[in-house]
Amino acid sequence: MLSRTAENLFWLARYVERAEYLARTIDATLRVTALPAAYVGKTNEWDSALLTAGVGAAFYDHYEEANERNVIEYLSFSDENPASIKNCIEAARLNSRSVRTALTSEMWDTINSAWIELQAVWNKGPANREELAKFLRFVQETSLRFDGSAYRTMLRNDAYWFSRLGVHLERADNTARILDVKYHMLLPEEEHVGGPLDYYQWTSILRSVSATTAYHWVYRETLKPWLIADLLILNDTLPRSLASCYSNLVRNLDQIGVAYGRQGASQRHARGIRNRLEHSHMDDIFQHGVHEFIQEFIADNSRLGEIITKQYLI
Amino acid sequence: MAVAFDEMNGLGEDLRPAYQELSRWLKETPPDALEYRRQEAELLFRRIGITFAVYGDSEAQERLIPFDVIPRIMSATEWTLLEKGLKQRVLALNMFLKDIYHGRDILRANIIPEDLIFQNPVFRPEMNGQDVPHDIYVHIAGIDIIRTDPDNFIVLEDNARTPSGVSYMLENREIMMRLFPDLFSRHRVAPVERYPDELLSALRSVAPHNASAEPTVALMTPGVYNSAYYEHSFLADKLGIELVEGRDLIVKNDEVFMRTTEGLKRVDVIYRRVDDDFLDPLTFRPDSALGVPGLMSAYAAGNITLANAVGTGIADDKAIYSYMPDIVKFYLSEEPILKNVQTWRCREPQDLSYVLDNLADLVVKEVHGSGGYGMLIGPAATKATIEAFRDKLKREPEGFIAQPTLALSTCPTCTDKGLAPRHVDLRPFVLTGSSHTTIVPGGLTRVALKEGSLVVNSSQGGGTKDTWILSE
């Protein structure tokens, strides 16, 4: 297939995934900030929402204060923020238009309908909390429909695999960023744990990767920080964990390699990261520093993006 | 203006045979049912994303072309005649192009003035002496046809460069079949769905001699911002070929390759929907980022076929148009089956003075204009507009031609006030491959939705209809 087509498919999937992640982040932050201060402490949750979205610095070029109104506006509807939900959906549609021939009609319909709804219903942004909740649901449902229609209707060939690469690369980045911002809350030794403050913060982390219920099914335990870290980093059964993302990335890259009859730097690099995740234990990670581990992962993950681009997309 | 010939009711109230069943059906169908289907059709179009962009209109970057659910119907007899005329016309166009870029017999015979060719900006000196496979220049032609009476088909315009609209022909039919299955069951409508297959085999048949047995065809688009982008992606999809932009292609050793995830892959035929000017920045406009550097030298080396060929603009130029009847006679020694609209060439002093005296009754068009932009429709224009145009015309008479205001035929159309006659034209698509010329029965019927309006262009408020050719 055309390199540009593969590139568009890859980015299309990334934009949709990112839009969903932003919606989840806003949703989780709203829930935490709705609690009385006694439960959540004095940290500015909106600031940390900006950090997990990776737009902390750029935000202050346009706003004075990271409050609910400003941050929601910036993350959801701002034209200034190239990675706002609105811009993600716009970019997703532009990418879809460029690769109409590689999309199934169901996928195109999902993105095009979302874009039409964005123009028609959400053009001015939600008027109140209730509307905002509707909007966030709309974004998450769009992502679910997109994933579902890709899964159910696409031929299992390179077009599908490049699209999946985009999903998992973006997803790994998102999960890693949440961990990076909140890692200090997961550290078992540093401060008193188990108070109500931490409890709601942990719930919030899980919520933003849609893993609250999953946690309980997997561990059958009350929330424990190291188990949360274990779930999000090493547990292959959780679709948004780093380990799961890398199982998928390795598999999709192998499928491409087999189809093209050639392996390359992407396959090697992805396998390297996967192996490291497979052979890690939470104890070691804590000992060497969660922060360092995550930082290194984010850099490695983004390097994989560059290598894939170089090998296939240009 | 006198009452126009109506496709359904003729000149009076005599229902024409092809429309009998439709007329019966319309009487049975309550008006709100029709309105409901119309809304359903619009919803379908928007969801599929069949839109077009209007230049200079930022409010509506993507608009739907209004679709009218009342089909335009033609009998088999009418179609047979039209088809014959179209094949004759396109054959003559191809012979004319071969001649202009080779021996130039027609100039030596003094049928067309030389300066009309050589001083014409759409004449491409790069094509002089350049051979193209099977001498086919115009592989895809869109000939705009109008009628003013039941007996004659008149060519309004030849489109020999990158004619568009065929996706509407195909999608209109899809949607009609979804919305009105009962109406179809009462007619025998010739199918149009084989168009993509015919197009692909025509394109493959003109591959360069050194191409592989399974030549690779690609469709080249200027990109998503082009007004016809939807059609480009639609056709690439139906043909099962790659939709490429200039940046996807690279020329090496005078061969054209596309960049794929598996490395470079040779391309043999490019169905290009990019104008000549933007094909190759080394040959044409150096400021263009749409093209492929070196494409023209690969073309000259005979390693790539471009469809349509470079330089076909000289055949559909509005100034050349007026010579088409002579062109047909010169190459084929036959009488042209399709008529021309009477045309005054403003470059000729006698014609110019007639035109200036009768501006209020004439339609004046720019020789190089298209899409209904920059034309004067005398009867519909204000005095001030006419005077302004008069100055333009005097300054640069060779830039214009004039034609009488024709009473284009009308066809019943849904309007706010119920069914009413609206003016229509028809663009059939003529495909020429190495062995034969094909026309899928039908074409794109365009309709001027405003009462009394004669402008059917989509950029000027025109709509489309499904076109039915009835089988015997």
Q: Where are the domains of chain B?
A: 17-208+304-340+406-469, 209-303, 344-404
- Measure in Å the smallest separation between the Cα of A43 and chain B Cα atoms: 44
Q: Name the pLDDT band for B451 (thresholds 50, 70, 90).
A: confident
Could you give the angle at the alpha carbon of B284 between the alpha carbons of B227 and B263, nearest 5°?
75
Q: Min CA distance, A208 vs chain B (Å)? A: 32
Q: Is A176 helix (H, G, I), strand (E, B) or coil?
A: helix
The model's pTM is 0.84
Segment B41-45 shows an average pLDDT of 83
**Which amino acid, residue B322?**
S
Q: How far apart are CA A222 and CA A230, in angstroms?
A: 14
pLDDT tens for residues B53-96? Answer: 544 444 445 667 889 999 999 999 999 999 999 999 999 999 99
Q: Output the furthest CA–CA distance in chain A (Å, rounded).
A: 60
pLDDT: is A290 or B189 the higher one? B189
Interface contact flag, A2 B224, Cβ < 8 Å? no
B358 has pLDDT over 70: yes
| Phi, psi (degrees; rounded to nearest 5) at B412 | -60, 135
The Cα–Cα gap between B62 and B51 comes to 6
Q: Which of residues 4-63 of A touch B (CB under 8 A)?
A: 4-6
The Cα–Cα gap between A126 and A121 comes to: 9
Alpha-carbon torsion (B56, B58, B60, B63), positive or negative: positive
pLDDT at A42: 64
The pLDDT-based confidence of B216 (bands split at 50, 70, 90) is: very high
What pLDDT, on a 0 to 100 scale, did the predictor assign at position B50?
Answer: 63
How confident is the model over B239-284, as pLDDT tens digits? 999 999 999 999 999 999 999 999 999 999 999 999 999 999 988 8
If phi > 0 it is left, if psi is from -120 to 50 it is alpha, else beta; for residue B442 that is left
C-beta atoms surrounding A208 within 10 Å = 27
H helices within chain A, ranges in order? 3-33, 37-40, 45-52, 56-62, 68-76, 85-98, 105-120, 129-153, 158-186, 196-208, 212-219, 225-233, 242-260, 265-278, 282-288, 290-308
CB atoms within 10 A of CB B128: 12
A2–chain B nearest CA distance, Å: 4
Report the pLDDT value the prediction gives residue B54, as an integer from 0 to 100: 46
- Can you tell me the mean pLDDT for B366-391? 83
Per-residue pLDDT, B52: 56
- Summary mean pLDDT of chain A: 89
pLDDT band at B460 (very low <50, low <70, confident <90, very high): confident
Topology of the domain comprising B344-404? Dna Ligase; domain 1 (3.30.1490)
Q: Shortest Cα distance from A247 to chain B (angstroms)?
A: 22
Return phi, psi of residue B103, to 5°: -75, -25
Total length of chain B: 472
B261·A112 Cβ contact <8 A: no
Residue A279, SS3 per DSSP = coil
Chain B residues whose CB is inside 8 A of the A4 CB are: 245, 247-248, 259
Top-confidence residue, B283 or B18: B18
**Nearest-Cα residue of chain B relative to residue A110:** B47
How high is the pLDDT of residue B59?
A: 43
**ipTM, interface predicted TM-score of the complex:** 0.79
| Per-residue pLDDT at A38 exceeds 70 | no
Which fold does the domain B209-303 belong to in CATH?
Rossmann fold (3.40.50)
pLDDT at A196: 57
Question: Can you tell me whether residue B470 is helix, strand or coil?
Answer: strand
pLDDT tens for each residue of A72-89: 999 999 988 999 999 999
pLDDT at B261: 95
**What would the mean pLDDT of B296-314 be, rounded to a whole number?**
96
Contact B164, B273 (CB under 8 A): yes
Confidence at residue B57, expressed as pLDDT on a 0 to 100 scale: 43
pLDDT at B371 over 80: no
Cα–chain-centroid distance for residue B325? 19
- Chain A residues 253-272 within an 8 A CB cutoff of chain B: 256, 260
Across-strand partners of A129? none
What confidence tens digit (pLDDT) does each residue in A130-184 have? 999 999 999 999 999 999 999 999 999 999 999 999 999 999 999 999 888 877 7
C-alpha B463/C-alpha B424 separation (Å) is 9
State whether residue A123 sits within 8 Å of chain B by CB.
no
Instruction: Give the model confidence (pLDDT) of B134-182 as tens digits.
Output: 999 999 999 999 999 988 899 999 999 999 999 999 999 999 999 999 9
Nearest-by-CA chain A residue for B237: A101
Q: How far is CA B254 from the centre of its chain?
A: 32
How far, CA to CA in Å, does B210 sit from each of A165, B216, B297?
38, 12, 16
The residue that leads in pLDDT, B285 or B188, is: B188
Q: Which two tokens stand for residue A192?
A: 């008193």
Using the Cα atoms of residue A255, residue A259, residue A263 and residue A265 in order, give the sign of their dihedral. Answer: negative
The mean-pLDDT minimum among A204-218, B96-110, B349-363, B433-447 falls in A204-218
Residue B379 has pLDDT above 90, yes or no: no
Partner residue facing B259 (CB), from A2, A112, A113: A2
Q: What are the structural domain ranges in chain A?
A: 1-153, 156-314
Q: What is the pLDDT of residue B56?
A: 44
Evaluated on CA atoms B228, B239, B443, B433, the torsion sign reads positive
Among candidate residues B232, B52, B207, the one with its CA nearest the CA of residue B139:
B207
Of residues B333 and A282, more confidence is placed in B333
